[in-house]
Amino acid sequence: MSDTVRALRTPRAAGAVGIAFAVLLGAAIVMVRVAIPEGQHYAASGGPLSGDSRHTVRTALGLIPFAGIFFLWFIGAVRAHVGDAEDRFLATVFQGSGLIFVATLFGAAACAGSLLATADAGAADGARLPQLWFFGGHFTYSLLTTYAMRMAAVFVLSASTVALRLGTFPRWLALLGYLVGLTLLFVVPGVAWAELVFPIWALVVSLHILVAGFRREAAARLDGRGGREDASTGR
């Protein structure tokens, strides 16, 4: 196996992991949105969450660590696809915003898990439970929508700018990234389900990286065969 083909397998495999990130994060968002409808509060539901809803949220929280791990691979996939020509300033913003997104996402998941544990243990102290639920719910929601998703917006915008300058992504994909980034910046905090645009964008980018990886590998194999044929014929 040539060094060129071997080198191309890393971004291709990481592109597949990017798809896994998109699926896991999208599934976690959907489960949380279904379990906790927009505007639900303690008094209306008779308690923080029903048993089925708590199980759904716990399942979603169990997906978050794996989504974050896969997202780190996705960062590597995009950088490998850009190559050595990447702008150092934008690359720093891109990587830094991605890492902060993962840290904030983990923080929101940890807060939500702690909130559920507190609610489970708070039956003996029902007087304080509503206040704890309101505080923890608002804190978790703010971490996710105000901070994590805006770091995701910076990540998408910087990646799209690099792609537009260097032509590493199709123009339509770079422009789609700008639209997604603006949505994450200004729309997500006030519109339910809008945060799904981020995993959808990651899914589209990962599919593009996979297809590009297959094409490069096929071209490298054809070049290798052509070189061997030339050597055998003495041309």
User: What integer pLDDT is reported at residue 167 of this predicted model?
Assistant: 84
- Beta strand segments in the chain, E: none
pTM of the entire predicted model: 0.83
In which band, very low, low, confident or very high, does the pLDDT at 96 lie, cut at 50, 70 and 90?
Answer: very high
DSSP symbols for 40-64:
--HHHHTSS--HHHHHHHHHHHHHH
Instruction: Cite the DSSP H helix spans in the chain.
Output: 3-35, 42-45, 51-82, 88-121, 129-141, 149-166, 171-186, 197-233
In which band, very low, low, confident or very high, does the pLDDT at 128 lie, cut at 50, 70 and 90?
Answer: low
Of 164 and 122, more confident? 164
In which band, very low, low, confident or very high, does the pLDDT at 8 lie, cut at 50, 70 and 90?
Answer: very low
Q: d(Cα 55, Cα 60) in Å, to the nearest integer?
A: 9
Domain ranges of the chain: 3-225
Of 224 and 46, more confident? 224
Q: d(Cα 106, Cα 102) in Å, to the nearest integer?
A: 6
Contact at 8 Å (CB) between 209 and 18? yes
Above 90 in pLDDT, residue 184? yes
Strongest mean pLDDT among 34-48, 66-80, 192-206: 192-206
Among the ranges given (25-29, 32-36, 160-164), the one the predictor scored with the smallest mean pLDDT: 32-36
| CA nearest neighbour of 65 among 99, 102, 118 | 102
